[in-house]
């Protein structure tokens, strides 16, 4: 165990900060933030974690942090790190909620068409979509072999069973399936937890939200995405539920032993890892890919029930409502991608933990419909403020391994938020703001009060002004369901 690293932080420009290479750091740290957000970031240990990640073998260019950064397990939440073939893969660089992610659907609807039915629409969504800890759909029974197929195929498994359309797959990162998934590497306990939770929203910061497009920053980009001022959109934010948590938990012990076995010095045990090309590294990736595919499936099934709920309320087929998927992005993932390093293409294992891929215009993995404008970057905020749709840029490709922020980022722990919310009538406060909220319990609402988060507008303005993503539209909530 090395002695604690010192932090020498210098401001590069209004939106970038450098943590100088010190001690065992192999590369520098780069943090995207303005001066006000940086003061907020300094309140926890996340900057120390950025420096710690920079000590890991094979890390390329820099240990990166987005403006929504806050303290996490080993790696900070809001961190990005890429490793070459000599490097490592780490569960802490992905997180417990593997492929927690978000998708946005557009529609042909206008706010005025649904305003008077919002309460009933939110109640319908809450009935149709299982939410909260331990939630499950009673009409959905999954056998072991079916579950294995789901883990291998991801969103395609759901589409093949009538949950959505083939065209949805063209608008999901990796087409809704991380290759290399092996259910044989997923423990029986993880399989058991997943079997009961597929197609569920979960608790915490997960949600389904009905939004109105409240501001447009670039008419051409918005038009390409099919978004108009005053139009209605829907966000779905959830992940791999208990299955993903269990996969991470199972492999923490494996990776601690692997780090010792391969002589990897850890400045923090939570950075436990294994060489990418080791047996342990390959096993973790295979299990992680299963959890990621579970999450893709989860969001796809919930999307189907969103469409059904709108169709029921408006007495029209969902196709007539134009409820089409714009895009679906991962937030917690490790993936093999090709990026330019020192002017040459290199295959890297990119860890994004609380970060969003942000491919530039012209990139072959960007859906054909968006090839000219760049990959949609979806940034949800808290339930009381707003969210954003952006697109990726060439600067992101050059600086951040095509990555951007993923949300607002917490400034309070869940315990602190619950204390702050004591005595509040949160549902009434939200309704007074024009937002209808349903949740499975007061505790979830208390943990998710708006003041528990940074202002997502400030966070998004950093990545926009730094040039690593470009603002397209703002979304404001009309109705929200939470676990």
Any idea which residues carry the catalytic annotation? 406
Sign of CA dihedral 438, 441, 444, 446: positive
Q: How far is residue 188 CA from its own chain's centroid? A: 26
Q: How far apart are CA 238 and CA 200, in angstroms?
A: 8
Q: How far apart are CA 392 and CA 235, in angstroms?
A: 19
Contact assessment for residue 356 and residue 335, using Cβ atoms and an 8 Å cutoff? no
Contact assessment for residue 107 and residue 231, using Cβ atoms and an 8 Å cutoff? yes
Q: How far apart are CA 110 and CA 194, in angstroms?
A: 37
Those residues with Cβ within 8 angstroms of residue 307's Cβ, 6 or more apart along the chain or in another chain: 164, 318, 321, 323
Contact assessment for residue 54 and residue 25, using Cβ atoms and an 8 Å cutoff? yes
Contact assessment for residue 155 and residue 168, using Cβ atoms and an 8 Å cutoff? yes
Beta-ladder partners of 13: 16
DSSP label at residue 171: G
Is residue 356 within a helix (H) or strand (E), and if so which, with residue range? strand 356-357
Q: Supply the angle between the helices 188-197 and 241-261 in degrees, to the nearest 10.
A: 160
Q: How far apart are CA 431 and CA 425, in angstroms?
A: 10
């Amino acid at each position: 165990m090395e002695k604690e690293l010192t932090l020498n932080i210098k401001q590069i420009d209004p939106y970038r900060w450098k943590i100088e290479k010190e001690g065992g750091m192999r590369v520098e740290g780069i943090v995207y933030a303005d001066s006000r957000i940086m003061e907020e970031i300094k309140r926890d240990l996340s900057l120390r974690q950025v420096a710690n990640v920079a000590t890991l073998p094979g890390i390329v260019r820099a240990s990166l942090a987005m403006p929504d950064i806050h303290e996490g397990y080993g790696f900070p939440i809001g961190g990005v790190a890429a490793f070459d073939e000599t490097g490592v893969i780490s569960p802490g660089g992905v997180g417990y909620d593997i492929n927690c992610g978000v998708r946005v659907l557009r529609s042909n609807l206008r706010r005025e068409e649904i305003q008077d039915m919002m309460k009933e629409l939110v109640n319908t969504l809450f009935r149709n979509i299982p939410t909260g800890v331990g939630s499950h759909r009673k009409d959905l029974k999954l056998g072991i072999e079916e579950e294995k197929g789901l883990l291998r195929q991801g969103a395609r498994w759901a589409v093949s069973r009538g949950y959505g359309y083939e065209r949805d797959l063209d608008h999901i990162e990796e087409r809704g399936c991380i290759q290399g998934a092996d259910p044989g590497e997923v423990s029986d306990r993880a399989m058991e937890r997943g079997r009961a939770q597929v197609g569920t929203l979960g608790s915490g910061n997960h949600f389904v939200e009905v939004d109105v497009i409240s501001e447009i920053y670039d008419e051409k980009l918005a038009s390409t995405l099919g978004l108009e001022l005053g139009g209605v959109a829907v966000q779905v934010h959830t992940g791999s539920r208990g299955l993903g948590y269990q996969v991470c938990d199972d492999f923490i012990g494996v990776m601690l032993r692997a780090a010792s076995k391969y002589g990897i010095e850890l400045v923090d045990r939570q950075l436990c890892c294994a060489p990418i090309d080791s047996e342990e590294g390959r096993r973790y990736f295979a299990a992680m890919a299963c959890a990621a595919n579970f999450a893709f499936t989860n969001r796809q099934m919930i999307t189907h029930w969103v469409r059904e709920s709108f169709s029921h309320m408006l007495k029209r087929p969902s196709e007539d409502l134009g409820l089409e998927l714009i895009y679906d992005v991962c937030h917690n993932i490790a993936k093999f991608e090709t990026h330019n390093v020192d002017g040459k293409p290199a295959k890297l294992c990119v860890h994004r933990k609380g970060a969003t891929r942000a491919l530039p215009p012209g990139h072959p993995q960007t859906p054909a419909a968006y090839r000219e404008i760049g990959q949609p970057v979806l940034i949800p905020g808290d339930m009381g403020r707003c969210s954003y749709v952006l697109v990726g840029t060439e600067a992101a490709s050059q600086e951040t391994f095509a990555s951007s922020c993923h949300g607002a980022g917490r400034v309070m722990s869940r315990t602190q938020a619950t204390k702050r919310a004591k005595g509040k009538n949160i549902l009434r406060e939200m309704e007074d703001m024009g937002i209808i909220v349903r949740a499975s319990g007061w505790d979830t609402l208390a943990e998710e009060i708006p003041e528990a988060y940074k202002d997502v507008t400030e966070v998004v303005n950093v990545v926009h002004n730094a040039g690593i993503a470009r603002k397209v539209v703002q979304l404001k909530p009309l109705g929200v369901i939470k676990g």
